[in-house]
Chains A and B, each alone.
Chain A
């Protein structure tokens, strides 16, 4: 097991699960940091656990419980601890990451705070890396993060995927963040800055997560795929290839192949990543030349 690789790949998902459980950004971040430190100390000698992600989650949760106990507790915290001790899930739930994206991109936070918090929390970029990418001093960026987290706690911005009636609006705000992240990376990709190329990668990762979201939403909706499709049609994000790609996917599932093919072609006209292009081309071929 490569810990660095694990950190890069799983940090956001694990953190999302922890934040849902402990309901506190800072506490969850500290606990996860401690869990990674413990892994770094123990794994090389004792060998890695069978399920590294589950190990990290359960270790971090115990660190959080210890931390809460150490804080000489007001009566009100007892329930939180009891809930944490009772919590048994050691696998990251896909929905946790989605809940957290909606929290980080809540319109009650300023757009700059939304971007910074998403990159720090969901993507796991360091404060310094985000500051460099957006050309602001690290203390300024850190301050922005502190204020955003304080507002989430103080105003009680919820950890939840919004209900149907406001989902389209809220999704817009999430997509705007993805778009801002991508643009920031893209605009600077002519320079030699590696960090900024990373921003593009993070934007695409976020975009993929959102396509999963669209799919989950569409399937979860009682009215089925048509409803999900109508929802996608309310999102305006010109030039963003994942939107027609998600549309194409729903149309394909609905058996509306001609429309799906048109949407895949639209996505292909916008896509710039070779791997994504190959995937879209394969899908397009599947519906235009179905296997016998």
Chain B
């Protein structure tokens, strides 16, 4: 069973953090990724550019509308994701709980992926 870990955090807060603290978190992040590669859970990981780079497309009255910015104004923004393979939800939650940005106010949304056979 695959789970997508969506890593959200407050970009403003991140931008204001001292470099030393950012480096520390990123270093811990490397350790985290290595550990899930080693344990066999890792499938994919991606770090996203800030949400100010985002463009949203939606349809209104059968016309495509393209707008600047993320699709919803929220305090937290999506910063990256990890795709992991686990036996069950609890295992995914335990791995999500080890993501370093949690300690600087981030949150992780854990979403089960639709199995290929049910696609």
A156–B1 Cα distance when bound, in Å, is 8
For A106, the chain B residues whose CB sits under 8 A away are 89
Which A residues between 113 and 165 are near B, CB-CB below 8 angstroms?
154-158, 160, 162
Is A291's beta carbon under 8 Å from chain B? no
Count of A-B residue pairs with CB < 8 Å: 25
* Bound CA–CA A175/B89 (angstroms): 21
B24 within 8 A of A: no
Enumerate B81-97 residues with CB–CB distance to A below 8 Å: 87-90, 93-94
Asked if B112 is at the interface (CB within 8 A of a chain A CB), the reply is: yes
**A272 contacts partner chain B, Cβ-Cβ < 8 Å:** no
Q: Which of B87, B89, B94, B117 interacts with A155 by CB under 8 Å?
A: B89
CB pair B87–A158 under 8 Å, yes or no, is yes
CB–CB B90/A154 < 8 A: no
A76 within 8 A of B: yes
Pick from A74, A76, A108, A166: contact of B89, CB below 8 A. Answer: A108
A191 to B6, CA, bound (A): 48
Asked if B88 and A156 sit within 8 Å, CB to CB, the answer is yes
Complex interface residues of chain B between 52 and 103 (CB less than 8 A to chain A): 87-90, 93-94
Question: Which chain B residues lie closer than 8 Å to A154 at the CB level?
Answer: 112
The distance in angstroms between the C-alpha atoms of A216 and B89, with both chains bound, is 25
Give Cα A106–Cα B93 distance, bound, in whole angstroms.
12
User: Knowing that A156-B87, A162-B90 are A-B contacts, what are 11 other residue pairs whose CB atoms are under 8 Å apart, sorted by A's residue number?
Assistant: A74-B117, A108-B89, A155-B89, A155-B112, A156-B1, A156-B88, A156-B89, A157-B88, A158-B90, A160-B90, A166-B90
Chain A contacts to B: CB under 8 angstroms = 74, 76, 106, 108, 154-158, 160, 162, 166
Q: List 20 A-B contacts (CB under 8 A).
A: A74-B117, A106-B89, A108-B89, A108-B93, A155-B89, A155-B110, A155-B112, A156-B1, A156-B87, A156-B112, A157-B88, A157-B89, A157-B90, A158-B88, A158-B89, A158-B90, A160-B90, A162-B90, A166-B90, A166-B94
